[in-house]
Amino acid sequence: MLISEKQKSILQLLADGQFHSGTELAEALNISRSAIWKHLNGLATDLGLQHSAVSGKGYRLERPLELLDENEILKSVDAKIKPLISRIEIFDQIPSTNTYLMERNHNHAPSGMACFAEQQTAGKGRRGRRWVSPFGSNIYLSLLWRFQASPLAISGLSLVIGVAVIRALQSQYGDIFQLKWPNDIYCRDKKLGGILVEVSGESEGPCAAVIGLGLNVYLPEAEAAEITQQWTDLCQVTGQPRHNRNALAGELLNQLFLIISEFEILGIASYLDEWRQYDCLKDKSATLHIGQHSYQGIVKGIDDQGLLLLTKPDGNTQAYASGEVSFSGDIV
């Protein structure tokens, strides 16, 4: 479903979470009160944006809404970072921000593109899992960056991106966030977000990376019912019912573009110590899943190439380049 201009205007008027009369809304949009009612019902049915209707008061959204806005995002972007951003696109609804930028990459789009969405209808995580994407609630972001190096040379990029995300979150909310190898954002042993890096290019270089981030700001329990992992969102973590998504989006761009622009020169080694500070798996019993095989042991952190170190029951420690780890009730 594409959101009509009338529907978007209604959302902007109701975004404050206060009651607005049908007459007020109808006059502002120059349409009938019955048309207002139909648009609101359409938003509830198609986007899950529920509203209250009270006689004598009018309509209001069940939760206040802050729509993403390029000008508001740029207010939080540092002057030194802005030249790295070639373009910002914000979609009301899109199948997947990563898929969109992969397509743009094949059409020779410039490096430095950033794509946000209010909702993804086919958002994806690792191994093709669907990423739950309620409208206007979270951060769905993908970046396109072109490297002169080969895909193998940037193999540690997803870990480095995790460091950038943690930096952005810390600047807004404090030192309470963690990383779970290889590409999940955690807080208090619950998943807060995920990273998906897709790389294409010649084996000897150059290559292009599309870097996707899904971050839970507010995730309704009904929407999250199908999630098999323990999850959390920023509203639960901070106890704050509202968050400035535009400011958070701007700070994410600051940290992501800073690290991406440095990574080809500095490599993963410059970020390993910081990544290890945020490691939520270190010294925990865990199970590593690779395809149809599972390996149990104690996680001993990561090596200097970013590989997972797992000490098995026989005492041998082995490094793994890929896989998924479950611990403390996680379900893979």
Binding-site residues for biotin: 96-98, 120, 191
Query: Helix, strand or coil for residue 78?
Result: coil
Tokens of 216: 């839970």
Measured between alpha carbons, how far is 84 from 276 in angstroms, rounded to an integer? 28
CA 290 to each of CA 45, 174, 319: distance values in angstroms, whole numbers, following the listed order: 39, 34, 13
Measured between alpha carbons, how far is 259 from 267 in angstroms, rounded to an integer? 10
Query: Helix, strand or coil for residue 229?
Result: coil
Q: For residue 134, is the peptide bond before it cis, meaning its omega torsion is within 30 degrees of 0?
A: no
Q: Do the Cβ atoms of 222 and 170 come closer than 8 Å? A: no
Q: Do the Cβ atoms of 214 and 197 come closer than 8 Å? A: no
Positions at the binding site: 96-98, 120, 191
Strand 113-117 with 87-91, pairing: parallel
Measured between alpha carbons, how far is 20 from 16 in angstroms, rounded to an integer? 10
DSSP 248-294: HHHHHHHHHHHHHHHHHHH-GGGGHHHHHHTBSSTT-EEEEEETTEE
- The amino acid occupying position 48 is G
In the beta sheet, which residues pair with residue 220? none
Tokens of 320: 């793994």
